[in-house]
């Protein structure tokens, strides 16, 4: 059986889908799993995993003016003759619904979303289960695998995450830390997050992140590793420049090497982002700073995690039940993070750190 798994855009989304991918492979004997990634970043982190027969990339941001490329990609995908397609959560855009139909896949599994205007083409998904507003994305996706396989226990299976780096990456990370400060204890800091589709509202200010990092580094006698991608360089520089404790800006490196660095940190403090999920999924003690997004559905998953948010009316703004609806209904998505003070955050973080 040949199945196409459509993966949501972000790296964090891929990690929160992975337990469902893994369970699908386990439950369907001889299955050939293909992944459709809507961004190259997701493809790069999944590319070395033997879970996948093949990974295909179809990036909607590259569609304008590339009709020949679109036709070629669709033709190549149609030749795979997939038996079924599973659109994992959150996948509430017209791209996710239209692509499987264009590929001629007769069984198109996905979710029945609370926000489903005709413009999103939800009717093209012909096998659906309702979104459960009480579930984390990991369980939401396991529920889709359970629905497809008919195995009701699939959504309560042990959660498995992928290995994100190899021994060469780990040795590089150890050498890097030894070169910047031999024998030091490090705290990973990610002051950025994706800005796509208004997601910049998930960023706590660089000054505030620096203030909390200073307090954590002082408590653990640690130094800060300021992490992030090439498009986050400015916020990394601002965060490091605002710190009183010693801080090291890690220039843009591969996700595998970033993952290895994070596993060597005593803990990581991150905005709600892909790097937060990378840290947590690998078992590093992880603190997630949350504002508009709902930790109930996409909080960090791991053995030792903490979510810090300012409790306010109207928050969280973006929940499982309004996925795909980017209107804020009169609420400024960035307001709660602007109201989150360093002292308030430290009051939550300090007692949690006592058990590290």
* Other CB atoms within 10 A of residue 337 CB: 22
Cβ atoms of residues 289 and 270 within 8 Å: yes
Q: How many domains does the chain have?
A: 2
Do both 74 and 174 map to the same domain? no
- Euclidean distance between CA atoms 353 and 356, whole angstroms: 5
Residue whose tokens read 């369980």: 139
Do both 98 and 177 map to the same domain? no
Do both 259 and 323 map to the same domain? yes
CATH number at residue 256: 3.40.50.2000
Query: Which residue range is the domain that position 46 belongs to?
Result: 2-156
pLDDT in 10s for each residue of the chain, 356 residues: 999 999 888 889 999 999 999 999 999 989 999 999 887 878 888 888 999 999 998 877 666 666 777 788 888 889 999 999 999 999 898 888 999 999 999 999 999 999 999 999 999 999 999 999 999 999 999 999 999 999 877 666 678 899 999 999 999 999 999 999 999 999 999 999 887 766 789 999 999 999 999 999 999 999 999 999 999 999 999 999 999 999 999 998 999 999 999 999 999 999 999 999 999 999 999 999 999 999 999 999 988 999 999 999 999 999 999 998 877 678 899 999 999 999 999 999 999 999 88
Do both 84 and 231 map to the same domain? no
Do both 294 and 333 map to the same domain? yes
Do both 27 and 145 map to the same domain? yes
- 211 is a domain residue: yes
The packing angle between helices 11-27 and 137-149, to 10°, is 30
* Residues facing 129 on adjacent strands: 111
Pairing outcome for strands 54-57 and 32-37? parallel
pTM value is 0.93
Do both 225 and 139 map to the same domain? no
């Amino acid at each position: 059986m040949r199945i196409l798994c459509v993966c949501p855009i972000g790296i964090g989304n891929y990690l929160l889908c992975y337990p469902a991918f893994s369970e699908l492979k386990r439950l369907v004997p001889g299955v050939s799993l293909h992944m459709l990634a809507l961004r190259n970043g997701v493809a790069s982190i999944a590319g070395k995993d033997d879970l996948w027969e093949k990974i295909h990339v179809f990036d909607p941001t590259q569609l304008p003016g590339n009709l020949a490329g679109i036709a070629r990609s669709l033709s190549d995908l149609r030749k795979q003759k997939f038996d079924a397609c599973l659109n994992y959560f959150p996948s509430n855009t017209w791209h996710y619904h239209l692509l499987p139909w264009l590929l001629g896949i007769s069984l198109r599994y996905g979710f029945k979303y609370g926000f489903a205007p005709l413009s999103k083409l939800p009717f093209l998904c012909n096998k659906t289960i309702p979104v459960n507003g009480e579930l984390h994305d990991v369980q939401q996706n396991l529920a889709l695998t359970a629905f497809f396989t008919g195995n009701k226990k699939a959504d309560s299976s042990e959660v498995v995450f992928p290995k994100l780096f190899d021994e060469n990456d780990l040795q590089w990370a150890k050498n890097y830390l030894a070169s910047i400060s031999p024998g030091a204890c490090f705290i990973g800091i990610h002051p950025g997050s994706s800005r796509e589709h208004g997601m910049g509202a998930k960023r706590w200010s660089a000054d505030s992140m620096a203030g909390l990092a200073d307090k954590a580094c002082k408590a653990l006698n640690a130094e800060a590793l300021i992490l992030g991608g090439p498009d986050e360089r400015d916020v990394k520089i601002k965060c490091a420049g605002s710190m009183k404790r010693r801080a090291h800006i890690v220039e843009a490196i591969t996700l595998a090497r970033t993952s290895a660095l994070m596993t060597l940190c005593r803990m990581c403090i991150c905005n709600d982002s892909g790097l937060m999920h990378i840290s947590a999924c690998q078992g590093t003690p992880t603190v997630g700073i949350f504002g508009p997004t709902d930790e109930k559905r996409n909080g960090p998953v791991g053995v030792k995690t903490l979510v810090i948010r300012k409790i306010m009316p109207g928050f969280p703004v973006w929940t499982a039940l309004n996925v795909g609806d980017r209107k804020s209904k009169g609420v400024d998505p960035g307001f709660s993070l602007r109201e989150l003070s360093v002292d308030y955050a430290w009051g939550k973080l300090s007692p949690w750190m006592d058990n590290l």
